[in-house]
Amino acid sequence: MSAEQIASPTQIERPSGSAGSGASIAQRLLASPEGYLFAFIVLVWMFLAAKSTVFLTERNIGVLLSQVALIAVTGFGMTLLLIAREVDLSVGSMQAFVGVVAMQALNEWHYLVVGIVVAILLGVIVGTINAGLTLKLGITSFIVTLAMMQILRGAAYTSTNAAVQNEHKLSSFKRVFNGAAVEDPVRIPWPVVIMAIFFVIFSLVLAKTTFGRSLYALGSNPEAAALSGIHVWRLKTICFVVTSVMAGLSAFMLIARMNSGQNNAGFGFELQVIGAVLLGGASLAGGKGTILGTFLATLLLGSLNNGITLMGYNPNWQWAVTGIIILVAVFLDSIRRRYTQES
Amino acid sequence: MEAVTQNNDARSPLLEMRGIHKEFPGVIALDSVDFALLPGEVHALIGENGAGKSTMIKIISGLYHADRGEMLVDGEVVAFRGPGDAIARRIKVVYQELDLVPGLSVAENVFLGAYPKKGAGRVDWGALHRNTAQLLDELGLAIDPETPVGELRVAEQQLVEIARALSQHAQIVVMDEPTSALSTDEVNRLFTFIRRLQERGVGIIYVTHKLDEIYRIADRVTVVRDGKHVVTTEVAGTSPHDLVTWMVGRELKDLFPKSVVARGPVLLKATDVSGSGIDHFDLTVHAGEIVGLFGLLGAGINTVGRVLFGASERASGSVELDGQQIKPNSPSDAMAKGMGLLTENRKSDGLVLPMSVRDNMTLASLSQFANLSWLNSRKETKAASTFVDRLSVRTPSLRQRVQLLSGGNQQKVLMARWLMRDPKMLILAEPTRGIDVGSKAEIYRLMDEMAQRGLGLVFMSTEIPEILGIADRILVMREGRIVAEFDRGEATQAKLVEAAAVALETGVAA
């Protein structure tokens, strides 16, 4: 064959990064799931601010964020778990179970710290059992925690007929949910502060530590992670325990808000949490998800629910709206990913 | 059946690509490529990884759309909106990753989506099994149509996939490295079968990295490089050297750069190791030595690596590295004592595909870059960029997702992962599998360099030329045990094949 048929071996030019300097701020914003959610939230807030004079008041935003905190705090734990390719369906029943038990403990010993310790301890125990059954027996976490969800709900029902009241009117207690950590210049309620602290801790752990890096690797490719010396079961156990502990803390904030531990608390909570985490960019296939994404998704859903109430619609619409938003967001994200050639 | 005319030019192409252009963010995958497939020809498509072969296939199969240029099937311009459109034009692609349904039977798979029906939508099972049996018979395949596909060997599955192409009366068949998992026998059977397809006037696009196959089966060959069409020519009249030069774009002088390294002290001593199908295995590796493990598919050469490293079960026997016992079944202990394992499946158990080049490189040595588990990302970047230079990994940046790199560069990333730990010995299971010639040469060069630095290497391969070219000592395995040992220079292709394939009756004496 003759040489002239051979193309010259010139290198193909590779434009340096298609989303580079030429891209507008908007394009860059929409290049990530977090950016998408942020844009979504801005739209919703603009709409609600225009429609309701109450929405942007300090008080309403405080209430909104406090409610968001309940879901987000558990959601942060769940984000780790979903990155590790596992899931925990028992966090909803934890709200009832921990609530009932912690309130009984409070009534017995009258110290706020006792209640918190009980909530954390129960989280550690439940999380360890979830991890043990999943990892040692090789049952999928979906099934293990589904069973755990029923068991804990049953335990909550058996221990009390309806609710355990705050008998001793522990005044420090109500402040956990309703009190303000900061009054000046703006009032910041305790749950928001708690959420913010965990937000920072979890974000840093995921982004900056060997644990976080190993977790993403383990979620994307467990085999490769194990062969690189990552202790898969140890990491997963930590994720299970952390998720349950965070659920316990959410439960504690919830009983503070209700001022009682109720056996029917947290119905559907697990799906709100998991829905938010998925909306925030995580995947049931593991390896993906960020704390910022989870927070923004929780904030978006919380804002919509707040808006529905403010505008006087039937609050039961909240359920359907949450579902629709998740579908819409996932749909938009799939388009975004196709556009950016992300797998 | 149509007669195949002598004059090539008189045949109108089954498939034609004209000026096909395809870009991905940051990469021009195809730069106005022309291609034509004639009826009844086997047309080899070769090029290094990342040259654009797979993009071409994906455009032909309807998975991708070309940005510019046109594609013609039977002389008509087509615009596929998806794989369904390609199938409707009787194009069948047999991928390396098979798309069979493991739980369904052979017959159900072959006719998937087109079952013969009796009235009222009921499947005519009798006809289904009869038709399948007939097809399998034509292929010379002795498989029961009712066997679940999951129970077949990979090679058989591949042939089932091809039977499916037949059942769909494909006119154009694309085969993407069909022999990468086949034994010599099975390759022969596949080739006989390809000839039969040819006789029916089917056009076959045959993608491969194995040059010898081109000479055995292909009529014409097209070489692509860096997204550009380099040459299309009759296979007769080209030399393998021409092909390599076209693919690589330069003269490739020395495929196996083998230096003489003085054999150091004993590094690895495995004694009487059994488990996971490995049977009373002994192995000694010296510092600076490359030990090649050769065996046919199923001989267990790759399992040896997993067992030594602790990734597969070691039931008995001891493994000692540099005087220290390695605990069984604990990769982290093996790592701590200085061992590294590059597995034979880059994608499934090596790379974390969505992660960056840098993060993949540092994954096995994170603690080196961390202070109380807090990662120092500047240190990571510095180390990664050192290794990118040292191994000449071609990547636009350290932040590039490793998924987007070519196979050869992915393999280098994994080598960097282990070299970062500064190991005493490395086990490399088929490190050049699915990699183009140019990258292969670089991998061999790196192995040689490692040996010069005093590392001990164990190197598994099913390809004889590279084993002969790079190993100091060659062990041949069959059925989980070592059956022969040769020193470099003493081994020949014939001796290795004979040792690896001798029938069981004479082999058990070992």
Residues in chain B: 510
Interface contact B67, partner A, CB < 8 A:
no
pLDDT at A1: 38
- Closest partner residue to A220 among B341, B355, B373, by Cβ? B355
- Closest partner residue to A208 among B226, B343, B375, by Cβ? B375
Is residue B254 assigned to a domain? Answer: no
**Chosen domain end from B204, B220, B248:** B248
Reduced to 3 states (helix: H, G, I; strand: E, B; else coil), residue A286 is coil
A109 has pLDDT over 80:
yes
Is residue B346 assigned to a domain? Answer: yes
Is residue B404 assigned to a domain? Answer: yes
A116 conformational bin, left if phi > 0, alpha if psi -120 to 50, beta if neither:
alpha
> What is the C-alpha separation between B109 and B107, in angstroms, rounded?
5
Q: Are B236 and B285 within one domain? A: no
Is residue B253 assigned to a domain? Answer: no
Among the listed residues B479, B477, B471, B469, the one whose alpha carbon sits nearest the alpha carbon of residue B496:
B477
Among the listed residues B435, B442, B441, the one whose alpha carbon sits nearest the alpha carbon of residue B416:
B442
pLDDT at A23: 57
> What is the C-alpha separation between B175 and B186, in angstroms, rounded?
15
Cα within 13 Å of Cα(A210), Cβ side? 19
> What is the C-alpha separation between A88 and A284, in angstroms, rounded?
11
Q: Which of residues 86-145 of B touch A (CB under 8 A)?
A: none
What's the Rg (C-alpha) of chain B? 25
The CA-based angle A247-A253-A258, given to 5 degrees, is: 120
Helices within B337-461 (DSSP H only):
346-349, 357-362, 377-390, 407-419, 437-452
Which DSSP string do the residues of A28-51 spell out, in sequence order? HHTTSHHHHHHHHHHHHHHHHHHH
Full set of structural domains in chain A with CATH: 54-330 (1.10.3470)
> What is the C-alpha separation between B58 and B65, in angstroms, rounded?
8
Please check whether residue A318 is in contact with residue A29, taking contact to mean a CB–CB distance below 8 angstroms: no
> What is the C-alpha separation between B425 and B291, in angstroms, rounded?
11
Mutation target among A201, A228, A337 for the B interface, most CBs of B within 10 A = A228
A331 has pLDDT over 90:
no
- Rounded to an integer, the average pLDDT of A164-191 is 77
> What is the C-alpha separation between B426 and B414, in angstroms, rounded?
12
Q: Are B243 and B272 within one domain? A: no
Is residue B257 assigned to a domain? Answer: no
- Closest partner residue to A217 among B355, B367, B396, by Cβ? B355
Please check whether residue B321 is in contact with residue B268, taking contact to mean a CB–CB distance below 8 angstroms: yes
A285 has pLDDT over 80:
yes
Structure tokens given for B138? 């034509």
pLDDT at A5: 36
Q: Are B36 and B134 within one domain? A: yes
* A224·B332 Cβ contact <8 A: no
Mutation target among B252, B343, B373, B417 for the A interface, most CBs of A within 10 A = B373
> Which of A150-164, A200-214, B200-214: highest mean pLDDT?
A200-214
pLDDT at B11: 74
The alpha carbon of residue A278 is apart from the nearest alpha carbon of chain B, in Å, by 18
Which amino acid makes up residue A246? Answer: M
DSSP state of A209: B
> What is the C-alpha separation between B462 and B478, in angstroms, rounded?
12
Long-range contacts, B256-262 (Cβ 8 Å, 24+): B256/B441, B256/B444, B256/B466, B256/B469, B256/B470, B257/B441, B257/B444, B257/B445, B257/B448, B258/B444, B258/B448, B258/B469, B258/B470, B259/B448, B259/B451, B259/B452, B261/B288, B261/B289, B261/B451, B261/B452, B261/B472, B262/B288
Which DSSP string do the residues of B317-357 spell out, in sequence order? EEEEETTEEPPTT-HHHHHHTTEEEE-S-HHHHT--TTSBH
**Chosen domain end from B215, B248, B281:** B248
Label residue A276 by pLDDT band (50, 70, 90).
very high
The CATH number of the domain holding residue B207 is: 3.40.50.300
* A9·B226 Cβ contact <8 A: yes
B134-150: per-residue pLDDT in tens?
A: 888 877 777 888 888 88
Mutation target among B233, B309, B363 for the A interface, most CBs of A within 10 A = B363
Q: Are B198 and B347 within one domain? A: no
The CA-based angle A65-A69-A71, given to 5 degrees, is: 125
H or E segment at A123?
A: helix A112-137
A234-253: per-residue pLDDT in tens?
A: 999 999 999 999 999 999 99
The CA-based angle B392-B253-B476, given to 5 degrees, is: 85
Among the listed residues B39, B48, B45, the one whose alpha carbon sits nearest the alpha carbon of residue B59:
B45
A124 has pLDDT over 70:
yes
- Closest partner residue to A15 among B26, B249, B354, by Cβ? B26
Please give the residue of chain A at the shortest CA–CA distance from B335: A229
pLDDT at B5: 39
Among the listed residues B151, B145, B152, the one whose alpha carbon sits nearest the alpha carbon of residue B109:
B145
Print the domain residue range for B142: 8-248
Which DSSP string do the residues of B231-297 spell out, in sequence order? EEEESTT--HHHHHHHHHSS----S---------SEEEEEEEEEETTEEEEEEEEETT-EEEEE--T
> What is the C-alpha separation between A288 and A272, in angstroms, rounded?
19
Label residue A21 by pLDDT band (50, 70, 90).
very low
Interface contact A7, partner B, CB < 8 A:
yes
* A228·B230 Cβ contact <8 A: no
Label residue A337 by pLDDT band (50, 70, 90).
low
User: Does the predicted interface ipTM exceed a cut of 0.90?
Assistant: no
Interface contact B371, partner A, CB < 8 A:
no
Torsion of CA A220, A225, A231, A234, to 10 degrees: 0
> What is the C-alpha separation between A150 and B450, in angstroms, rounded?
57
Which amino acid makes up residue B157? Answer: Q
* B363·A225 Cβ contact <8 A: yes
Structure tokens given for A326? 């998740």
Mutation target among A213, A233, A343 for the B interface, most CBs of B within 10 A = A213
Please check whether residue A119 is in contact with residue A102, taking contact to mean a CB–CB distance below 8 angstroms: yes
The alpha carbon of residue B227 is apart from the nearest alpha carbon of chain A, in Å, by 8
A57-95: per-residue pLDDT in tens?
A: 988 999 999 999 999 999 999 999 999 999 999 999 999
pLDDT at A10: 32
Reduced to 3 states (helix: H, G, I; strand: E, B; else coil), residue B63 is coil
Mutation target among B352, B359, B395, B397 for the A interface, most CBs of A within 10 A = B352
**Chosen domain end from B248, B279, B308:** B248
- Exposure pattern of B305-321 as b/e (b: 16+ CB <10 Å)? bbbbbbbbebeebebbb
Please check whether residue B301 is in contact with residue B294, taking contact to mean a CB–CB distance below 8 angstroms: yes
Those residues of chain B that have pLDDT short of 70 are 1-10, 26, 49, 96-98, 181, 251-254, 502-510
Q: Are B332 and B415 within one domain? A: yes
Number of domains in chain B: 2
Interface contact A221, partner B, CB < 8 A:
yes
pLDDT at A340: 56
A128 has pLDDT over 90:
yes
Q: Are B229 and B302 within one domain? A: no
A343 has pLDDT over 50:
no
Q: Are B368 and B406 within one domain? A: yes
Label residue A2 by pLDDT band (50, 70, 90).
very low
A93-108: per-residue pLDDT in tens?
A: 999 999 999 999 988 8
pLDDT at B249: 76
Q: Are B391 and B284 within one domain? A: yes
Q: Are B359 and B419 within one domain? A: yes
DSSP state of B151: G
Is residue B236 assigned to a domain? Answer: yes
Greater confidence (B351 vs A260) lies with: B351
Among the listed residues B459, B336, B489, B346, the one whose alpha carbon sits nearest the alpha carbon of residue B409:
B346
Residue B148 has phi, psi (to 5 degrees) of: -65, 135
> What is the C-alpha separation between A37 and A326, in angstroms, rounded?
11
> What is the C-alpha separation between B388 and B397, in angstroms, rounded?
10
Q: Are B292 and B435 within one domain? A: yes
Structure tokens given for B134? 């007939």
Q: Are B90 and B230 within one domain? A: yes
Is residue B355 assigned to a domain? Answer: yes
> What is the C-alpha separation between A256 and A73, in angstroms, rounded?
15
Structure tokens given for B286? 């010296």
Please give the residue of chain A at the shortest CA–CA distance from B401: A342
- Rounded to an integer, the average pLDDT of A283-287 is 88
Among the listed residues B394, B411, B436, B493, the one whose alpha carbon sits nearest the alpha carbon of residue B243:
B436
The CA-based angle A268-A271-A274, given to 5 degrees, is: 150
Interface contact B252, partner A, CB < 8 A:
no
The alpha carbon of residue A47 is apart from the nearest alpha carbon of chain B, in Å, by 36
Please give the residue of chain B at the shortest CA–CA distance from A342: B354
Q: Which of residues 156-195 of A touch B (CB under 8 A)?
A: none
> What is the C-alpha separation between B420 and B454, in angstroms, rounded?
15
The CA-based angle A262-A265-A268, given to 5 degrees, is: 170
If you search the block for the tokens 């559907």, which residue do you land on?
A: A268
| Strand B27-37 versus strand B15-24 pairing type | antiparallel
Is residue B460 assigned to a domain? Answer: yes
Q: Are B180 and B326 within one domain? A: no
* A227·B311 Cβ contact <8 A: yes
Label residue A194 by pLDDT band (50, 70, 90).
very high
Interface contact A3, partner B, CB < 8 A:
no
> What is the C-alpha separation between B295 and B356, in angstroms, rounded?
34
* A225·B331 Cβ contact <8 A: no
| List of chain B residues whose C-beta atoms are within 8 Å of the C-beta of residue A19 | 25
A123 has pLDDT over 90:
yes
Please give the residue of chain A at the shortest CA–CA distance from B225: A9
Q: Which of residues 152-211 of B touch A (CB under 8 A)?
A: none
How many inter-chain contacts (A to B, CB under 8 Å) are there? 113
DSSP state of B4: P
| Strand A163-165 versus strand B425-429 pairing type | unpaired
